[in-house]
């Protein structure tokens, strides 16, 4: 049953008082079975978080034709850094560049003064589009219309989703994603089940290895999914998705059937809040992920119900704030004791 309920996941507090509360939902799956859910089985679109599953259906055809860098960028929601553009361009022949149908865009994460004009290459999904076009040529599918939901690629993708879930989808709603391709509405439980399956089938294709080999091609500088990929020793793959999605596929000896976790922020893309939640999810499983850059005079407090009950004992192992976080959200004295001296001028330290 679909339950569009949002719950608090993290508070930003100043001197113990919440100033910002971020709502969302978190789903954990062990193999094909629900493990833990907090926030309701909300319905949302999988967006770019689903790229590892989408590319899985054409991985065999692409394998002999793509470099490892191009394989990684085909799964990416990239920053359009030079390494990303080079890897995307290598997927297609120059004569095929005009077939790319990503919207004209500026880089997702821009650094320094921008003098560039919007280009299709700069769109964060250009790698996936290029890979689909290459697979269409290999499979003798029409490349015109590859962004339509009736295209053979998307039909094969939906069939793969149904095969993995082993049951009818609770929703059959398609919408046009930001890049123009169809995105399928699914519940967070269904999305978590798909990410658990990625761990089980990691050796069936190159998806897992490409993401681990070239983590910076998946997102880019200081992106959450790239940082997780680099931090967990090849045992976790992570993929961000708009709006407010993070999928984790985890290899762990306590979960031989595969562990999948999906985090969804109710208000949309929020890398910092998602980062805090992911840090605790991974921390109780024994992985170390650094904090994002510190909040200005606030601290992040996680709601413990995010974590399954049997893992909450491990929360004490996760350090909530780094040593270099300045404790600057309070004064370390009672101001009342200085009020009289301030008023009558007897406190010489004021001058």
DSSP 230-279: HHTTTSEEEEEETTTEEEEEE--TT-TT-EEEEEEETTS--HHHHHHHHH
Tell whether the model's pLDDT for residue 33 goes beyond 90: yes
* Cis bond before residue 73 (omega within 30° of 0): no
pLDDT at 347: 63
Tell whether the model's pLDDT for residue 102 goes beyond 90: yes
Tell whether the model's pLDDT for residue 113 goes beyond 80: no
Q: Which helix (H) or strand (E) holds 297?
A: none
pLDDT at 111: 66
Residues 150 and 134: their CA atoms lie apart, in Å, by 18
Question: How do residues 273-304 score in pLDDT, each as one tens digit?
Answer: 999 999 999 999 999 999 998 888 899 999 99
**Coil/strand/helix, residue 320:** coil
pLDDT at 1: 61
Query: Which of 8-12, 93-97, 164-168, 295-299 has the least mean pLDDT?
Result: 164-168
pLDDT at 25: 97
Question: How do residues 299-350 score in pLDDT, each as one tens digit?
Answer: 999 999 999 999 999 999 999 988 877 788 888 888 888 887 777 766 655 5
| Cα dist from 173 to 182, 185, 304, whole Å | 10, 6, 33
The residue-averaged pLDDT of 131-145 equals: 97
Question: How do residues 61-77 score in pLDDT, each as one tens digit?
Answer: 999 999 999 999 999 99
Render the burial of 119-143: b for 16+ CB within 10 Å, e for the rest: bbbbbbbbbbbbbbbbbbeeeebee
**Coil/strand/helix, residue 48:** helix
Tell whether the model's pLDDT for residue 44 goes beyond 80: yes
pLDDT at 266: 95
Compute CA 131 distance to the chain's CA centroid, rounded to the nearest angstrom.
20
pLDDT at 40: 86
Beta-bridge partners for 33: 30
Q: What average pLDDT is seen over the chain?
A: 93
Residue percentage of the chain with pLDDT more than 90: 81
Select from 25, 34, 12 the least CA-distant residue to 245. 25
pLDDT at 334: 86
Tell whether the model's pLDDT for residue 16 goes beyond 80: yes
Residues 152 and 257: their CA atoms lie apart, in Å, by 31
Tokens of 314: 């491990």
Residues 29 and 181: their CA atoms lie apart, in Å, by 27
Q: What is the dihedral of CA 286, 292, 295, 299, to 10 degrees?
A: -10
Residues 202 and 211: their CA atoms lie apart, in Å, by 11
**Whole-prediction pTM value?**
0.93
pLDDT at 299: 93
Q: Dihedral of CA 276/281/283/288: which sign?
A: negative
pLDDT at 344: 72
Residue 58 makes CB contacts below 8 A (sequence gap 6+) with: 131, 132, 135, 139, 153, 156
Residue 18 makes CB contacts below 8 A (sequence gap 6+) with: 11, 12, 301
Tell whether the model's pLDDT for residue 114 goes beyond 70: no
Question: How do residues 196-248 score in pLDDT, each as one tens digit?
Answer: 999 999 999 999 999 999 999 999 999 999 999 999 999 999 999 999 999 99
């Amino acid at each position: 049953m679909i339950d569009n309920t949002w719950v608090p996941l993290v508070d930003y507090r100043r001197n113990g008082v919440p100033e910002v509360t971020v709502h969302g939902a978190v789903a954990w799956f062990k193999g094909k079975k629900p493990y833990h859910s907090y926030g309701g089985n909300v319905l949302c679109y999988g967006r770019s978080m689903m790229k590892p599953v989408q590319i899985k259906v054409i991985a065999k055809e692409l394998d002999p034709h793509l470099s490892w860098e191009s394989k990684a960028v085909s799964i990416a929601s990239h920053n359009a850094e030079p390494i990303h553009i080079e890897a995307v361009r290598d997927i297609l022949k120059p004569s095929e560049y005009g077939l790319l149908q990503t919207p004209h865009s500026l880089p997702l994460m821009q650094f320094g003064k921008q003098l560039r004009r919007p280009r299709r290459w700069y769109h964060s999904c250009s790698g996936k589009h290029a890979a689909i076009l290459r697979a269409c040529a290999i499979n003798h599918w029409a490349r015109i219309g590859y962004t339509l939901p009736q295209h053979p690629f998307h039909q094969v993708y939906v069939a793969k989703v149904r095969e993995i879930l082993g049951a009818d989808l609770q929703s059959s709603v398609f919408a046009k994603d930001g890049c123009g391709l169809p995105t399928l509405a699914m519940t967070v439980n269904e999305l978590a089940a798909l990410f658990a399956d990625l761990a089980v089938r990691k050796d069936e294709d190159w998806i897992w290895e490409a993401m681990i080999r070239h983590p910076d091609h998946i997102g880019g500088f200081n992106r959450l999914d790239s940082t997780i990929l680099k931090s967990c020793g090849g045992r976790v793959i992570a993929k961000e998705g708009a709006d407010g999605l993070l999928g984790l596929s985890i290899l762990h000896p306590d979960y031989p059937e595969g562990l999948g976790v999906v985090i969804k922020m109710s208000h949309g893309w929020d890398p910092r809040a998602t980062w805090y939640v992911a840090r605790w999810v991974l921390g109780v499983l024994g992985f170390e992920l650094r904090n994002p850059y510190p909040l200005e005079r606030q601290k992040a407090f996680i709601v413990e119900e995010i974590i399954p009950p049997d893992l909450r004992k491990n929360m004490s192992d996760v350090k909530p704030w780094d040593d270099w976080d300045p404790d600057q959200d309070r004064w370390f004295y009672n101001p009342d004791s200085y009020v009289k001296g301030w008023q009558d001028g007897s406190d010489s330290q004021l001058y």
